[in-house]
Amino acid sequence: MSLIPENRLAELSGDDVKRYSRHLILPEVGWEGQQRLKAAKVLIVGTGGLGAPLALYLAAAGVGTLGLVDFDTVEASNLQRQIIHSTRDIDRPKVASARDRIRGINPDIKVITHNTRLSSANALEILRNYDVVADGTDNFPTRYLVNDACVLLGIPTVYGSIYQFEGQASVFYAKKGPCYRCLYPAPPPPGLVPSCGEGGVLGVLPGIIGCIQANEVIKLIVDADEHEGRSLIGRLLLFDAWQLKFRELALDKEPACPICGEQPTIHDLVDYEEFCGLKREEAEVPVKAISARDLKARLDAGDRIQLIDVREPHERAIFQFEGAKAIPFGQLIRRKEEFNPEIDAVFICKIGQRSIYAIRALRDAGYTGRMFNLKDGSNAWARDVDPSLPQY
């Protein structure tokens, strides 16, 4: 059954014929395919690196309704890859910036903005109004949330992910193939996979993967399978931008999948922060934090403090944290004997997240000394203590 049934086909105007003429002369798209595109409703989750090319190309292609979900604002560091935003949009909500750019490309598109964090409480209500969901998120809780909501609603998800120089793309549609949980039954341990903000990403990579996602969205809407096309349902496309290589893996539907398998056990949305291990037990000792200004005051007072920089070598090349011992996150446990448990230790990363995982890992490994997390990381030090240093 087509995603866009016959009774929903949209009429094309004379202006539409002019704008989409290059589509109309493609037999695989044609008049009816463009009608389907105009009638289609696509939700883009995230208006960052992947969401930017998705929104731009789907708007240009004539998708009639585009929904945008994001709760973030534009920052200068976004502009290296999130091409839907511009310098003048810094500090604006991303959905507002993206909406204006979409309307500049195609004023006939209906844009629905959801300036909110997608959650278990609102996902079903938001997603049920769309034909296709394009996942442009950068974290595991939201990926599992989007997958589960789409499976429960019977909607296809066009998936993409990026990290450093590598990207992935697929289409998860439980009615015709596997879902995200069939590929990744469980999330990785917290801290094992850094975010793009911590690990970096080549600026053009999300453009490539996002365009592949836009291509898959269009193919789903125009029923490419009826014209000897082939979607990424049941296939995982892997791309290495540095080596310029594409690979492909076949994906099978997992019979024991807890949400799309033969005997599903998940019938509603769950707490995805907890599922991904990002919520700690209430009884667990919390990680103590210290602000950049308080750390500076203690150092100026002559307090004995071990500074442990868990950033990677390429990050330290941006700037060295004076007086800190450099021990990347992956080496901490085997080098814990280098710490003196009699002296307070302050752990430093870029934004204060990996350092929390570092402290928890050392605590689990039996280290008994007092440990503090530098709140907001080296960026806070550059912002509040030494503005001559870069925030990155």
**Phi, psi angles (nearest 5°) of residue 33:** -60, -40
- Catalytic hit among 150, 196, 257, 276: 196
Beta-bridged to residue 41, according to DSSP, are 65
Cα–Cα dist 141/121, whole Å? 14
- Catalytic hit among 150, 257, 260, 349: 349
The pair of structure tokens assigned to 161 is: 């992910």
Contact 141, 276 (CB under 8 A): yes
Cα–Cα dist 329/194, whole Å? 11
Query: Which residues in 31-163 belong to E strands, given as ranges?
Result: 41-45, 65-69, 110-114, 132-135, 157-163
Respond yes or no: is residue 257 known to be catalytic: no
Cα 330 off chain centre by: 23
Q: Where are the alpha helices (DSSP H) in 128-193?
A: 140-153, 180-183
Which of 69, 143, 72, 153 lies closest to 111, judged by CA? 69
Cα–Cα dist 142/131, whole Å? 19
The pair of structure tokens assigned to 227 is: 């014209």
Residue-wise over 290-325: b if at least 16 C-beta within 10 A, else e?
A: bebeebeebbeeeeebbbbbbbbeebeeebebeebe
Cα–Cα dist 392/311, whole Å? 12
Burial class (CB in 10 A: 0-12, 13-18, 19+), 380: buried
Respond yes or no: is residue 349 known to be catalytic: yes
Strands of the 344-348 sheet, one edge to the other: 288-290, 371-374, 344-348, 305-309, 325-326
Report, as residue numbers or ranges, the catalytic residues: 196, 349
